[in-house]
Amino acid sequence: MLRLVHRFELTKNPKADILSGITVALALVPEAIAFAFVAGVSPLVGLYAAFIVGLITSVFGGRSGMISGATGAMAVAMVGLVAFYGVEYLFATIVLTGIIQILAGAFHLGKFIRLVPHSVMLGFVNGLAVVIFLAQLGQFKASKAAQDVSPSHGTENAHSAIDVIFNGGWMQGSEMYLMVGLTLLTMAIIWLFPKIPKIGKLIPAPLASIAIVSGLVISLNLDTRTVGDLASVAGGLPTFHIPMVPFTFETLIIILPLAFTLAAIGLIESLLTLTLIDELTESRGRTSKECIGQGSANLTCGFFGAMGGCAMIGQSMINIKSGGRGRLSGITAALTLLCFILFASSLIEMVPLAALTGLMMMVVIGTFAWASIRIMKKIPREDAFVIILVTGITVAHDLAMAVIIGVIVSALVYAWKSAKHIWVVEGRSEKEGHKVYMLHGPLFFGSIAGFKDIFDPKNDEESDIILDFRNARVWDHSALEAIDALAAKYKEVGKKLHLVHLSPDCQLLLKNAKDMVEVNMIEDPHYGVLVDYADTVGVKT
């Protein structure tokens, strides 16, 4: 049984949360810089976003242990706006994005993440694992080529993550060998370190690997790329800044579509990451609170010169695997990142990119749902198709589009399957001896064609017909119209149709068949028509 996370819980294990937070902060630096390059803004704009979003969501979000910051999924969507209108319009858009996300939380729209099928979740996890893997391949490019390549979605002009494989610019010779060797060494340390007696449990393996590989590179003076080769991480505190854009209706028309897009991308990625961490930690976060937390973070980013962001599955996995469970881990990561910017930029710039690449490669291995490969032949073909579809669209396009398409395809498959499960069992009533049609299955827009084919009022031999809904469910308005139409046909040929065990709400909505309903207060069901049911039941997250 999942434990619902209701109250603010800073930490249960301060040591684990602090060490895990420091590890996450190290991994955030190159990601934030790279995503800033993607969006076409200054590296500090990305670093400030990682700090602000990470801190606010850790304090006010709906899920402890989840890490948020600047992300590639949102950065890719920003490119066009920054290129055409400039960074000030981006800040205004981020403010509006935050407001939209806060409203989504206030109206409890986050609960609809529960409608995402498990097959879509598997595709989401696998797709992001592939995207993270492809992002790391950019670190194996020569310096100039690495900056021209989007770390998560290809080049600046192409939004496909797989483009990184085909656009050239790879390291050559000893430079490549050293980069590969240090990356593999980092991965080996992360795998082996926990097995060392006593010491292995004192320090998170990712943090130990970064320290060991960094020390090796510095002491041997190895010529390999470092964080400083991406950009300088030195800077001051973010300052309050009202976006310098015209406050006109024309400006709103420019930024509103992108604001909705960014809000959707951010919430989908954040809520799916929240769901994944729920499963890993056997607890349950609060979706509406997470929407408000993400929105508050983005609203703040817009007023402090940052590019905004959302939950990061890679860094969240690092945090969870390193033992970070409380909100203190995310707070520590954000504050440590700020300390890097203010005081320790020279030290952080010395960290080899190979160490951080190896760390993220281990995240890929831990994130990918390997079990989904084994079960492909055991699950329905439709679900296997959805897994592959969502994975492919996530890699080729973006997460939000992949999830939306996956949910739509899953819904259509479900509707098609349900439409075929409508049938009747014919019999006789015990008292009057009238003919009885015992209806089975869901009656909705997809099954009404089959429902109509079952009955033939003109050629039905009986003058009194009983249609029993005891084992059927009326789902929508199309079903009600089909019942009304059937009643009208029986009436036209002078035959009497009795509708029994039909729910009270259905009775109220019927038109032609109202007088044909026979009410049994003891046996009649009390299920609701689906179109009305959502408004009568409040689900709080």
Q: What is the pLDDT of residue 230?
A: 82
Tokens of 321: 């695997």
User: pTM of this prediction?
Assistant: 0.76
Q: What is the pLDDT of residue 150?
A: 43
Q: What is the pLDDT of residue 160?
A: 61
Q: What is the pLDDT of residue 217?
A: 95
Sign of CA dihedral 457, 458, 459, 462: positive
Where in the sequence of the chain do the CATH 3.30.750.24 domains occur?
423-536
pLDDT beyond 80 at 255: yes
Q: Just give the CATH number of 423-536.
A: 3.30.750.24
pLDDT beyond 90 at 469: no
Q: Coil, helix or strand for 299?
A: helix
Q: What is the pLDDT of residue 146?
A: 52
What would the mean pLDDT of 89-102 be, rounded to a whole number? Answer: 97
Q: What is the pLDDT of residue 224?
A: 92
Task: Return the higher-pLDDT residue of 174 and 473.
Answer: 174
pLDDT of 52-75, one tens digit each?
999 999 999 999 999 999 988 888
pLDDT of 266-302, one tens digit each?
999 899 999 989 988 888 889 999 999 999 999 999 9
HEC profile of 461-492: CCCEEEEEEEEEEECCHHHHHHHHHHHHHHHH
Give the Cβ contact number of residue 463 at 10 Å: 12
Tokens of 463: 């003058």
DSSP-assigned letter for residue 306: -
Q: Identify the band that residue 128 occupies on the pLDDT scale cut at 50, 70 and 90.
A: confident
Q: Identify the band that residue 308 occupies on the pLDDT scale cut at 50, 70 and 90.
A: very high
Task: Return the higher-pLDDT residue of 301 and 10.
Answer: 301
* Segment among 19-33, 314-328, 450-464 with least mean pLDDT: 450-464
* Segment among 158-162, 336-340, 486-490 with least mean pLDDT: 158-162
Q: Coil, helix or strand for 369?
A: coil
Q: What is the pLDDT of residue 539?
A: 36
**Cα separation of 81 and 514, whole Å?**
57
pLDDT of 184-224, one tens digit each?
999 999 999 988 887 877 788 888 999 999 999 999 999 99
pLDDT beyond 80 at 317: yes
pLDDT of 284-294, one tens digit each?
889 999 999 99
The mean pLDDT value of the chain amounts to 85
Q: What is the pLDDT of residue 99?
A: 97
Cα-flanking dihedrals φ and ψ of residue 450, to 5°?
-65, -35
Q: What is the pLDDT of residue 163?
A: 77
% residues pLDDT > 90 (the chain): 44
Rg (Cα) of the chain, in Å, rounded? 29
Nearest-10 crossing angle of helices 14-39, 353-367: 100
**Cα separation of 448 and 435, whole Å?**
21
**Cα separation of 150 and 158, whole Å?**
9
The dihedral region occupied by 433, where left means phi > 0, alpha psi between -120 and 50, and beta the remainder, is left
Q: What is the pLDDT of residue 10?
A: 87
pLDDT beyond 70 at 349: yes
pLDDT beyond 90 at 417: no
The dihedral region occupied by 498, where left means phi > 0, alpha psi between -120 and 50, and beta the remainder, is beta
Burial class (CB in 10 A: 0-12, 13-18, 19+), 420: exposed
Please state the separation of Cα 235 from the chain's center in Å. Answer: 32
Q: What is the pLDDT of residue 295?
A: 97
Q: What is the pLDDT of residue 296?
A: 97
Tokens of 333: 């990561």
* Segment among 159-168, 337-346, 399-408, 494-503 with least mean pLDDT: 159-168
Q: What is the pLDDT of residue 158?
A: 41
**Cα separation of 392 and 347, whole Å?**
39
* 355 contact partners, CB below 8 Å, separation of at least 6: 182, 186, 209, 210, 213, 214, 217
